[in-house]
Structure 1
Amino acid sequence: MPDGHRSGFACFVGRPNAGKSTLTNALVGTKVAITSSKPQTTRHAIRGIVHRPDAQLIIVDTPGLHRPRTLLGQRLNDVVMSTWSEVDVIGFCLPADQKIGPGDRFIAQQLSKVSKRTPVIGVVTKTDLVGQAQVAEQLVAAQELMDFAEFIPVSAVNGYQVEQLSDLLVTQLPDGPPLYPEGELTDEPEVTLVAELVREAALEGVRDELPHSIAVVVEEMAFREGRDDLIDVHAELYVERPSQKGIILGHKGERLKKVGTAARAQIEALLGAKVYLDLHVKVAKDWQRDPKQLRRLGF
């Protein structure tokens, strides 16, 4: 282990759609957290691992914190709060193109409970979408939210200050050897990542009422008998109502076919092998409010 090597955990927080997953992917340099223009995309604390000569930074990607309206919402918030207490540094993401609102103030209020122990860095994201004057305004507004250890404007899209953000996060980590082997980018089981990729593909282009209502369970994933170049993946997409099933399937199943094609390309890239993807849509009535179904679907 080189002298002065640091290793530890960071997480990004922010209201839904603040650019947390895109930033994680930019820092890790590959796609580990799913991204979508829909809020509430991330449900699992997927970790991306940044390997540097001087440090190993493990990024825990939490769901967006929001005022919960359902049991699922409450469980997602619990995931967030328990993650905050376990990391070495927190990045609070505030998109440059949106005014600071009640959602951000709610998060700042929750964060101030841990900020005595855990340094919080203010990260103004999406700076590529606005002019410099607006970035400066956002930085000033953000300073009134809470007591930040540091501040930095970034753009995950064009790479602006992503390296500098990595440096800032690393300075807050304790000294220690790497916690994961070189070359590993996430410790999330492949089945979880595959389910997330299917969900991401299913979310693209559907109407806004669906994001919360899709859960994906990979029932089976294995090499086809007698072949080591083809993986069979059987997955179920769960929605809450028959009308939603219709939206996912599309006219004569066309929409589901497109979802399958898009997801398969991503899964093949992830697994490095040809994939046969078998998707089925099922209705699990009001699963977000039912503890038994939430457990079965992995929450």
Structure 2
Amino acid sequence: MNHELDPAGGTLPHENFRCGLVALAGRPNVGKSTLLNALIGFRLSITSPRPQTTRHRILGISTSEAGQIMYVDTPGLHRGAKRAMNRSLNRAARSAISDVDLVVQVIEAGRWTDEDEALYAALVEQPTPRLLAINKVDLSKDKSAMLPFVAGLAAEHSYDEIHYLSALKRKGLKELERAILQRLPVRPPVFGEDEITDRSERFLAAEMVREQLMLRLDQELPYATTVEIEQFSDRPDGIAEIHAVIWVERDGQKAIVIGNGGAQLKAIGSNARRHMERMFERKVFLKLWVKVREGWVDDENMLKKFGYTD
């Protein structure tokens, strides 16, 4: 990297180095988390085919010679938020787009919904530059329909630039990154060159267990679950010992999570542990419990306890 040595023996970025916060915003299930992971080159944010997999704002950091982009993966902004947790997710999403240097609105190729429109209405209330990222273009069967679709969007909505992406196949990312950097302020980096997030291993461990719940449980059950880390410690033998509680709302849900003879819970723990060991780069001993807390999804105090804050 084209850096000068500083007096402490480290490096200082060049005078045109850019740094800023960029929100990846969009309705649920448009691929924001997959895009974040692709942009930082690391599987940080959990993903699943289900909408509303992301429940927390997650910071992913990409540092290059040109600058440092701090991406904020936000919960999907959605309508019909009747439960307290859903309202909390919407507040977190709206807070994120008001607190950044640039917003990338992510949509699905060929689709513009009422939720996309509602997010756009929130964006135009901010003075922040905004880009439109049309994701999943590789899945669009009728390529000829894309031009009139985009032309219609551009006629009624104002974006600084429009980009076509396939986050899953890592196509269109360099052009998007270039457009982002051009619009960030000139200032020194906030994080070290090798840092990829500000989230703790404790938080990431809970997310990896929750990812397995999203992937393995049927229909609505994953939305009635959350994960709390009760213990995270490094043993003298170098193994990370993690105790986690999976909270559900009803006894029947507890039985489903545990499974016949404990098989489901064992599979959830085994898969989560393997992901943890890859991310944390050490052996992990993971112990899971399933507990019932009726109505936790509508309990503001429990939501705060589990980290669902604005």
**Shorter-normalised TM-score: what interval?**
over 0.9
Cα offset for 1:3? 2.3
Equivalent in 2, 5, 18 of residue 6 of structure 1: 18
Q: Deviations over 1:150-199 (max 9, x none)?
A: 10010112111111111111111000111100100111111111100110
Asked if residue 169 in structure 1 is aligned to residue 180 in structure 2, the reply is: yes
Asked if residue 209 in structure 1 is aligned to residue 240 in structure 2, the reply is: no
Cα offset for 1:104? 1.2
Q: Distance in 2 between matches of 1:80 and 1:191?
A: 22
Asked if residue 29 in structure 1 is aligned to residue 29 in structure 2, the reply is: no
Equivalent in 280, 291, 302 of residue 293 of structure 1: 302
Equivalent in 235, 243, 267 of residue 252 of structure 2: 243
Q: Deviations over 1:203-253 (max 9, x none)?
A: 1132121232111111101112x312x111100011112222222112111
In the alignment, which residue of structure 1 is the partner of 2:169?
158
Change (3 A) 1:70 1:145: farther
Q: Distance in 2 between matches of 1:223 and 1:145?
A: 55
Equivalent in 186, 190, 200 of residue 211 of structure 2: 200
In the alignment, which residue of structure 1 is the partner of 2:6?
none
Structure 2 segments unaligned to the other structure (5+ residues): 1-12
Asked if residue 61 in structure 1 is aligned to residue 73 in structure 2, the reply is: yes
Cα offset for 1:144? 4.6
Equivalent in 118, 135, 138 of residue 125 of structure 1: 135
Cα offset for 1:74? 1.4
Structure 1 segments unaligned to the other structure (5+ residues): none
Q: Deviations over 1:3-54 (max 9, x none)?
A: 2110001011111001000000000001111111111111111111011101
Q: Distance in 2 between matches of 1:147 and 1:128?
A: 25
Change (3 A) 1:142 1:281: farther
Equivalent in 52, 67, 71 of residue 84 of structure 2: 71
Q: Deviations over 1:98-157 (max 9, x none)?
A: 52111111211222211xx10110100011111432433442343255211110010112
Alignment coverage as a number of residue pairs: 294
- Give the aligned CA root-mean-square deviation in angstroms: 1.4
Asked if residue 146 in structure 1 is aligned to residue 185 in structure 2, the reply is: no
Superposition TM-score, scaled by structure 2 size: 0.91
Cα offset for 1:70? 1.3
Matching residue's letter, 1:270 = M
Q: Distance in 1 between matches of 2:146 and 2:222?
A: 30
Question: Secondary structure of 1:36's partner?
Answer: coil
Asked if residue 279 in structure 1 is aligned to residue 291 in structure 2, the reply is: no
Change (3 A) 1:243 1:144: farther
Matching residue's letter, 2:35 = L
Asked if residue 39 in structure 1 is aligned to residue 48 in structure 2, the reply is: no
Q: Distance in 2 between matches of 1:227 and 1:101?
A: 53
**How high is the sequence identity, in percent, across the aligned residues?**
35
- Preserved contact between residue 223 and residue 231 of structure 1 (Cα < 8 Å): yes
Asked if residue 95 in structure 1 is aligned to residue 108 in structure 2, the reply is: yes
In the alignment, which residue of structure 1 is the partner of 2:124?
112
- Preserved contact between residue 122 and residue 142 of structure 1 (Cα < 8 Å): no
